[in-house]
Chains A and B, each alone.
Chain A
Amino acid sequence: MNEITMTLKHKSGLHARPAALFVQAASRFKSKINVRNGEREANAKSIMGVLSLGANQGAVITIHAEGEDAEQAIQQLVSLIEDNFGESA
């Protein structure tokens, strides 16, 4: 099982441009990927689902992936978040 929990540092949280980039990245993988924020859970490939998580800056989210490329998927998504979605801090 591939799962990781991390804190969102981007000022927009998982909204706006970060949400779009996150969904685009997740959509490149075959694995089933879910994101959880507290009690809400969503398909990481669904922009509406990800937006409705209401994950703001400072939110602690858990990404869960299952499938042949689960490990790479988690790696990619983690580095996207750690990289602050490509924006210089």
Chain B
Amino acid sequence: MKKLSGIIASQGIAIGPASHFRRADLKVERQKVKDPAKEWERLGEALVRAGQELDAVYTKALAETGAETAAIFQAHGMMLEDPELLEVMQKKIEGDHLNAEAALTDATEMYAQMLEALEDEYLRARAADIRDLSARVLRILLGVIESPIGRLKTPSIILAKELTPSDTISLDKAMVLGFATAEGGATSHVAILARELGLPAVVGLGMDLLDIPDGTPLILNGSEGVLVVSPEEATIAVEKNRLNAQKATLAIARQDAQKPAISRDGQRFEVAANIGSIESARAALEAGAEGVGLLRTEFLYLERDHMPDEEEQYQAYRAIVDVFGDLPVILRTLDIGGDKELPYLELPRELNPFMGLRAIRLCLARPDLFKPQLKAALRAGVDRNMKIMFPMVATVAEVRAARAILEECRAELVAEGKPAATHLEVGIMVEIPAAVVIADQLAAVVDFFSIGTNDLSQYTMAADRTNSQVSPLADAFQPAVLRLIRDVIKTAHQHGKWVGMCGELAGEPLALPILAGLGLDEFSMTPAVIPVAKQILRGLSLPEAQKVALAALNEDSPEKVKSLVEGAQIAM
């Protein structure tokens, strides 16, 4: 048994034999030709044929995989008609009297290397596209029939150095269990394709991958980025059971998505969604969301050259709130700072934007920015179950100031003769440890709390989430973070206030028993994970969850917390 580690490209587990992907060997012989005009014509014909092939492949990709993969072949078609590329090839044939094969590879290689030199992951992938396209034309020029690589007899895990879009589209998808490549990154083509197909994939496994013989039994774990080579029979059996159990759970979870999450002992948990657009609002409802625990409003502000006005914001919020009818929707006011490029705001560059003038701090400093949003929210909340929350609160004064501006906005709307929501719950996000420490004081000025675990972890651990050297520290399973979560829930409940969570932790299967045990009132998460989260909550009983939570808070590392919950879940 051997283990190879790589980069996670697409989640899931596959068990099956190895099958190497082999490409036809295309050799280019450089020659001088006597009749360049005829050679140019020969290349022209090959380009036309390649164009026809690409049209067919585009249709196949659209039907088999999805729009994102299909778009790659559309891009290949554009490259084929590129006037610059044609000119370079023409010069090489008519000027240097080169044969078509050499002219083609010289020209495409020149562009591929130019893109690679730009040191941009996206452009490097385009360099691979150009080479893929070049191979297609070359194959036509050489008269090589497309190799029958796609004909797998048994379902297999595909191994390759790297896979091009043309390679993957030629495969018989019914026979592919997953992909493992020696090279590539998380945004490479095979990653996109695998996610579209819902198959596991691990990339960047290293050149050792290529030495594995065909037919070797493998376990590909796309969720952990690991490939197990020749595992023992017992390991395969365990993994197969786990895979089947996962499939069964997911099937039941999807079926029961619209049903409430009621624990074995009758405790009901509210499961809501984090959304940031009208499209995700609909997806959330379909996934079984019982409301919105976090409506991000930044989408209205990004990628534009002027601020959205009150009317535009009102229309956008109202459309989203309307999707949910009487269900609660919590709108979070603008959460941005100096790290975002919003030219129209003229925000000063800051050395440390995550500790700078952002979120509620920025909004209080800029009423021109804050007031149109609050007025739009007050209008959108009329006759609907809408709530507002302020991000990044650290002091009671901030909440008082924000509430005063909210009242000012309401008065202005009344004066303007516009309807405004009268009873609107106002809450805050708990992201800064300071807010946990003074939760008793904050409870006096808010209606609810919502814990943002991503920021709470990074601020508690003083570890930048975007710095890969320290980001593992900013783990929400850190005992320090879990204890802060316990504290804020306890204090809020003592003061009669409810607590939700809209950070990633709320949708983590291993965190759910702990959070339920700590008494969290509302779980808000990415729509996609709602069915499974509900299913896990249904399997709990409150006394058991409380026991797990208590034990978890006494562990001294995230790893120990996780293995404790794993152990408890098997016992439940």
Chain A interface residues toward B at CB < 8 A: 7, 9-11, 15-17, 20, 23-24, 42-43, 45-49, 51-52, 54, 56-58, 84, 87, 89
Contacts and interface: CB of A to CB of B under 8 A. Distances in A.
B75 A47 contact: yes
A50 to B, nearest CB: 10
15 contacts: A9-B303, A10-B303, A15-B126, A20-B74, A45-B84, A46-B84, A46-B85, A47-B75, A47-B79, A48-B111, A48-B115, A48-B130, A52-B114, A54-B120, A54-B123
A23 B83 CA distance: 11
Interface string B70-112: 0100110011001111000000000000000000000000010
B302 interface: yes
Given A46-B85, A48-B111, A52-B111, A23 B122 contact: no
Contacts of B74: 20
A56 B122 CA distance: 11
B452 to A, nearest CB: 24
B118 interface: yes
Nearest to A89: B304
Contacts of B118: 52, 54
A46 B130 CA distance: 13
A46 B304 contact: no
Contact of B303 (A11, A42, A47): A11
A56 B465 CA distance: 24
Interface of B: 71, 74-75, 78-79, 82-85, 111, 114-115, 118, 120, 122-123, 126, 130, 302-305, 341, 343
B508 to A, nearest CB: 28
Nearest to B122: A15
A49 B120 CA distance: 15
Nearest to B120: A54
A13 to B, nearest CB: 9
Contacts of A46: 82-85
Contact of A51 (B71, B115, B343): B115
B123 A51 contact: yes
Contacts of B71: 17
Contacts of A57: 341
A9 B344 CA distance: 12
B448 to A, nearest CB: 31
Nearest to A42: B84
B121 to A, nearest CB: 11
A10 B85 CA distance: 26
A89 B298 CA distance: 10
Contacts of A51: 115, 123, 126
B75 A20 contact: yes
Given A20-B75, A54-B118, A57-B341, A48 B82 contact: yes
Contacts of B120: 54, 56
A52 B120 CA distance: 10
A48 B85 contact: yes
Given A9-B343, A47-B78, A48-B115, 16 more contacts: A11-B302, A15-B122, A15-B126, A17-B71, A20-B75, A23-B78, A24-B78, A45-B84, A46-B85, A48-B82, A48-B111, A48-B130, A51-B123, A51-B126, A56-B120, A58-B341
B175 to A, nearest CB: 31
A35 B111 CA distance: 17
Nearest to A49: B84
A78 to B, nearest CB: 13
A79 B149 CA distance: 46
B123 A89 contact: no
A16 B79 CA distance: 12
Contacts of B123: 15, 51-52, 54
A42 B186 CA distance: 30
Nearest to A57: B341
B338 to A, nearest CB: 14
A83 to B, nearest CB: 11
Contact of B84 (A7, A43, A58): A43
